[in-house]
Each structure stands twice: as C-alpha cells, then as structure tokens.
Amino acid sequence: MTDHKIKRFSTYRIAEHWVHMAIFIVLVVTGLSQKFHSLDVSMWLIFHLGGIDYVRLIHRYAGMVFLVITALHIIAGIVCVAAKKWPPSMVINKKDFSDAIHNIRYYLGVETQPAACDRYSYKQKFEYWGVLIGSVIMIFSGLILWFPVFVTRLLPGEIIPASKVLHTNQGFLMFLIIALWHIYNSIFSPEIFPIDKSIFTGSISRDRMLREHPVELARMEGRPIAMIDAMHDK
C-alpha cells in the first residue's frame, strides 16, 4: 500500500515541462554567453554556435517559442481556473506564509513537525510565481530589445536601455533561481536524491505524498488531516 503510485501530472503538464526545460536551456546558454561575453567559455560557445549573429538569432527564435508556451500556459490557467475545471491550487494564500514561517521554525528545531502542505508546497508556489512573473518580464523586455525602432515610435527611447537592464538581470536571476532552488529541490535535496521523477513519469509515490503533500493526500483518500498526521508519526 505504501509505495503504490499516485497520479500527479497529466501528459499535457509532462510535455509542457519538457518543452520549457529545453527552451530554458537554449535561452540560458545563448543568453548568458552574451551577458558574460568576455569570459573565455562564452567566447568558445558563441564561436562554436556559428558566431554572435547566429547566437542572437537562436536566442530570439527560442524566445518566440518561449513566448508561445508561456502564453498558452497563462491562458489555459486563467480559462480553466475561471471555468472551475482546474482547482486554483497554485494561488498563494495565507496558509503558505504560515507554512513558510512554520518550516523555518521546524528547521531551527522549534517545531517538531514540518508544515503540512497541500498539492503544491509554499516553496513550489513561490518558485512558480517568481518564474512566471520573471518570464513575462523577459518576454516583454526581450521583444522591446528585438524591435527597438518600432518601440521608440510609441515610447520614449530610454525604454530600450531600461529593458536591457531588466532583461539581462531578470534573466540572470531566473537562471539562479532554477539553478540553485529548482535543481536543489528536484535533484540534490537529500529527501529526493538522485532525482524527483514525478514531472517525467506523471506519478508520485504515496510515501512522498504523505511526506510532502499530506493535505492533498488526505483529501484524495477522504480522510481527515489528523489521520494523515498520525500516519506520518509512525
């Protein structure tokens, strides 16, 4: 019973993650090598990708794909949540803040138990919203930098260097969030090492559900949360 798999992600989500991952890698490689252009490794990379012009071209077309999948994600999310087809499980609520404080207290040894999270933990929600808002910033600033002549017909010229600051810093920030936080939580965290495969297989073990998403598990199994807590203690 304990290690039976529970369905967690639909095929759509699995595919979406794959595409996002691939595009993100392309954008990071072609983007950061431009940001840190004086590094030898950037030079090497750019020249082996066919020169700066090609790298910029790849970055822009990858950005187009990124725009499309991000837009689809947002539209699908808004429509389906509004139509009550999907539960608003990503919406940040009061419990997320109390969970965060609770967990810090737990890490410091004040609390005996970690916070009991729902479908998405506060860590996942904060990361999700951080990356989503970041993506929107990246898309808009990227488009402005791609079409400076058009943009300055409508907006003051200063918007261009400002967008450059936004794009380069936000891109770097997103890279850091993914490289440090996301990779830690889905690969290097001792609780899930060597890798969290749920986004690739679409299912998660009941054990991990019990540990990481007890509230959702309780709802799925129709038990009160207290029982789940009791199971946790065993």
Note the residues at the interface with other proteins (CB under 8 A): 34, 37, 43, 46-47, 50-53, 104, 106-109, 123, 148-150, 152-153, 155-162, 164-166, 169-170, 172-173, 176-177, 180-181, 184, 189-191
Minimum distance of other proteins from residue 196's CB (angstroms): 14
Minimum distance of other proteins from residue 87's CB (angstroms): 27
Alpha helices in the chain (DSSP H): 11-35, 40-48, 52-82, 94-107, 122-146, 148-154, 159-176, 183, 198-201, 206-212, 214-221, 225-233
Minimum distance of other proteins from residue 217's CB (angstroms): 21
Minimum distance of other proteins from residue 26's CB (angstroms): 19
Q: Within a 13 Å sphere around the CA of 49, how many CA atoms are in the beta-carbon half?
A: 20
Minimum distance of other proteins from residue 86's CB (angstroms): 28
Residue 6 or residue 117: which is nearer to other proteins going by CB? Answer: 117
Residue 82 or residue 176: which is nearer to other proteins going by CB? Answer: 176
| Other beta carbons less than 10 A from residue 1's beta carbon | 4
Residue 69 or residue 159: which is nearer to other proteins going by CB? Answer: 159
Amino acid identity at 132: L
Residue 78 or residue 176: which is nearer to other proteins going by CB? Answer: 176
Residue 3 or residue 158: which is nearer to other proteins going by CB? Answer: 158
DSSP per residue, 85-150: SS--TTS--HHHHHHHHHHHHHHTTSSSS-----SS-HHHHHHHHHHHHHHHHHHHHHHHHH-HHH
